[in-house]
Amino acid sequence: MKIAIAGSGALGSSFGYMLKKGGHEVTLIDFWEEHIRTVQDEGLTVDFNGKTENIEIPMDKPENIDERFDAVFIFTKSMDLRGMLEAIEHIISKDTKVICLLNGLGHADTLSEYVPTENIIMGTTVWTAGLDAPGKAHLMGEGPVEIQEVDPEGKEATLEMVKVMKDSGLNAVYSSDVHFTTWRKACVNGTMNALSALLDANIEELFKSEQTKVISEEIIAEFALAAKLDGVELDEEEITNYVVDISKKLGAHYPSMHQDIANRRPTEIDFLNGIVTEMCESNGYSAPNCRL
């Protein structure tokens, strides 16, 4: 399959590596010049669960790509999604499937402004990736990736993408309710990422304090209220236990929002706690923790 990765930072270059190793024709797309030059000159180096490998893989800026693809995986940060969709309009044909695994809420609506809904596949992933230097990424964990079509007409294509990712070692599964999964994942990011960034603590340090669980429960209650307005029922106790369980697996990890603050980059907070605040407040409820 001819695949483009639109946004080839941490997760994008790692997924590109896995899909290329899986036998697909993969092109990485990004706008970070040093990263592109390194991959063009020296190849892409990926440490996959402790095993490092260097591969040759095409990479360029959106404006230098002059072909259409069967599938495009979007891997920008939430706030760059629209900019990326505008930059890659010329590589998307009427049949191109667009897969979006970004964290955050509201992305399907943005995608539907640029891509026919039957070609949009939404999902979440708990793979963990990082960029150690230009041209050097690491991918950790075992996934999974959960995906589902937005429009029932896209089901067959979604099942094909599940197979493509599964065969490439990405542990993909078909989700029967990706809307729920997206909200559930947003609760994880809206609690531990936001608190880690605000309190300058890694996950292990955060969850040593009993107060973290109390504040997380309050944040999750606000997410559950907004989810309900969006037609999704979240079991607050189950989600809290899920967050605490994930925190134990992550240990002394600093989530991306903490890294963004440390590097003075914008964070994805507007697409997590920000959207929840707006949804609650515009419906006459308050969401003081998310507003903070």
- Residues with catalytic roles: 185
What is the identity of the amino acid at 164? V
Segment contacting ligand NAD by CB under 6 A, of 16-24, 125-133, 147-155, 281-289: 125-133
What is the identity of the amino acid at 36? I
C-beta atoms surrounding 214 within 10 Å: 9
Parallel, antiparallel, or unpaired: how do β-strands 59-60 and 25-29 relate?
parallel
Segment contacting ligand NAD by CB under 6 A, of 27-35, 167-175, 199-207, 272-280: 27-35
Task: Please report whether residue 12 would count as binding ligand NAD according to CB under 6 A.
Answer: yes
Single out the residue of 78, 240, 273, 289 in contact with ligand NAD (rule: CB under 6 A).
78
Segment contacting ligand NAD by CB under 6 A, of 96-104, 146-154, 218-226, 238-246: 96-104
Phi-psi region of 43 (alpha: psi -120 to 50; beta: other; left: phi over 0): left
Residue 161 beta carbon to ligand NAD: minimum distance, rounded to whole angstroms: 17
User: Half-sphere exposure (CA, 13 Å, Cβ side) for 170?
Assistant: 28
Task: Please report whether residue 125 would count as binding ligand NAD according to CB under 6 A.
Answer: yes
Contact 146, 123 (CB under 8 A): yes
Task: Please report whether residue 62 would count as binding ligand NAD according to CB under 6 A.
Answer: yes
Segment contacting ligand NAD by CB under 6 A, of 46-54, 120-128, 165-173, 231-239: 120-128
Name the strands in the sheet holding 120-125, side by side, starting at the edge strand that comes first in the sequence: 59-60, 25-29, 2-6, 71-74, 97-100, 120-125, 145-149, 172-174
For ligand NAD, give the closer residue by CB, 33 or 238.
33
φ, ψ of residue 72 to 5 degrees: the values are: -125, 120
Closest residue to ligand NAD: CB criterion: 9
Task: Please report whether residue 129 would count as binding ligand NAD according to CB under 6 A.
Answer: yes
Burial class (CB in 10 A: 0-12, 13-18, 19+), 113: exposed
Of residues 224-263, those binding ligand NAD (CB under 6 A): 256
Residue 173 beta carbon to ligand NAD: minimum distance, rounded to whole angstroms: 16
Task: Please report whether residue 267 would count as binding ligand NAD according to CB under 6 A.
Answer: no
Of residues 197-216, those binding ligand NAD (CB under 6 A): none
Task: Please report whether residue 146 would count as binding ligand NAD according to CB under 6 A.
Answer: no
φ, ψ of residue 202 to 5 degrees: the values are: -80, 175
Single out the residue of 3, 4, 5, 11 in contact with ligand NAD (rule: CB under 6 A).
11
C-beta atoms surrounding 80 within 10 Å: 19
Which ranges in the chain belong to alpha helices (H)?
A: 10-21, 33-42, 81-87, 107-112, 155-167, 178-188, 194-199, 203-208, 210-229, 236-250, 256-262, 273-282, 288-291
Residue 102 beta carbon to ligand NAD: minimum distance, rounded to whole angstroms: 3
For ligand NAD, give the closer residue by CB, 249 or 286.
249
Q: Summarize as ranges the residues that interact with ligand NAD (CB under 6 A).
A: 7-12, 30-32, 62, 75-78, 80, 83-84, 87, 102-104, 125, 127-129, 131, 256, 268
